[in-house]
Amino acid sequence: MLTDRQKLILKAIIEEYVTTNEPVGSKMLTEKPYLDFSSATLRYEMQHLEETGYLLKTHTSSGRIPSEVGYKYYIDHLIIRDNDVTEFYKYIDSILDDKLSSRSEKIKKITEFLSDLTSYFSAIITSPNEQAKVLRLEIVPLTENEAILLIVTSTGDVQSEIIEIPNNYKMDDLLRIIGMFDTAMYGHSIYEIRDILSNEASKPRIRQMVDFRDDILNFMIKAFEGFLHGEMVSTGLSKLLNQPEFQDSKKMQSVIKAIEKDILSNFGDKRSSGIQIHIGRENLIEGFEECSVIMMPFNVGDNENGLIYVIGPLRMNYRAVIPLLEYIGKSMNKLNKR
């Protein structure tokens, strides 16, 4: 059980270390106006916090740094959310309220914003929406031999692919075959599309375009599989690796492998309610020993959910990251509003 004075000292050490990445000594603490204690008292309390596992003594200086136990206690009992981040809420709203952007573009912008603001790795994963239906297939000509094929669903998802038009076909041929599929797919669930594709492809009018038909079918199958597996957008790996804690090449490789293993697997096991914070070895994944992972689940309507990740060093700016993720998570239900 920590005394009020010990709590105040621990909080000051953690927030100073988050800012400076330098071990904190008693001399620095005496400069804090709210720590009106003698150097001897501060040293005594710091020694007690070290002996009870909240602080660690470094070999390179007389200062202390927080331990995983110290960070955990700080988050559970001492943290005061940074009110300065509220100035960014309007920007988050502007991204999610933009009627001209697709949901994929919104997710990408939110992910990039999080990483740019924090200088950490961030990712957003969405589960497939079982209620999504196909609204339209669309062709956007680029040149005589290239076009973009778009698949749009009722939830605002868009899959796109540049396709090459065979030399013996014209743009009108492409428009005609896409029109056939568009009519057949309209209003159907994405889970029905594979059967519809197979049925349509077997019809004589489609079979006449054998080579071109195969190109279109292969893309469509690939595109709709993307819908079935949900979506993941990530960015900021280089920002994370630029943090002082990860300058060693072996640490870099370990963190990269851990991110790939953690983000790309077991998504379903992590969709619980409320923000989740795993510090260092709490992550139970090799490579994350010096990382904090914060996950914020969110819902997009009744049939779709997702997860926001931020991965940074143990010395993460929790005061800013936590309220940002909580606000974004609460606001993600705007994704499907058009």
Among 119-128, 176-185, 275-284, 285-294, the least confident range: 176-185
The predicted pLDDT at position 267 comes to: 46
Q: How many domains does the chain have?
A: 3
- Are residues 244 and 117 part of one domain? yes
The label of the residue with tokens 């993460």 reads 316
- Are residues 238 and 224 part of one domain? no
Give me the sign of the Cα torsion angle 230, 329, 311, 77.
Answer: negative
Boundary (domain end) residue, out of 181, 210, 228: 228
pLDDT digits (tens, 9 = 90+) for 18-71: 999 999 999 999 999 889 999 999 999 999 999 999 999 887 667 899 999 999
Amino acid at 40: A
The predicted pLDDT at position 86 comes to: 94
Distance (Å, rounded) from C-alpha 47 to C-alpha 139?
69
The predicted pLDDT at position 137 comes to: 82
Boundary (domain end) residue, out of 228, 253, 276: 228
- Are residues 234 and 220 part of one domain? no
The predicted pLDDT at position 90 comes to: 96
Residue 317: band (very low, low, confident or very high) from pLDDT cuts 50, 70, 90:
very high
Q: What is the CATH number of the domain that holds 139?
A: 3.30.390.60
Q: Please give the C-alpha separations between residue 279 and each of 17, 239, 283, 290, in angstroms, as whole numbers.
A: 16, 19, 7, 8
Residue 303: band (very low, low, confident or very high) from pLDDT cuts 50, 70, 90:
low
- pTM listed for this prediction: 0.74
User: Could you list the residue range(s) of the whole structural domain that residue 196 is in?
Assistant: 134-228
Are 139 and 147 within 8 A, CB to CB? yes
* Between 103 and 198, the higher pLDDT residue: 103
Mean pLDDT of the chain: 83
The predicted pLDDT at position 188 comes to: 76
- Are residues 250 and 114 part of one domain? yes
Boundary (domain end) residue, out of 191, 212, 228: 228
pLDDT digits (tens, 9 = 90+) for 209-266: 545 556 666 666 666 665 666 678 899 999 999 999 898 888 888 898 888 776 655 4
- Are residues 248 and 122 part of one domain? yes
Most confident of 73-82, 150-159, 202-211, 225-234: 73-82
Q: What is the CATH number of the domain that holds 235?
A: 3.30.450.40
Give me the sign of the Cα torsion angle 57, 243, 85, 108.
Answer: negative
Q: What is the CATH number of the domain that holds 49?
A: 1.10.10.10
The predicted pLDDT at position 294 comes to: 94
- Are residues 45 and 163 part of one domain? no
pLDDT digits (tens, 9 = 90+) for 200-213: 666 666 555 545 55
Residue 318: pLDDT above 80? yes
Nearest to 304, CA basis, from 86, 94, 127: 127
- Are residues 65 and 180 part of one domain? no
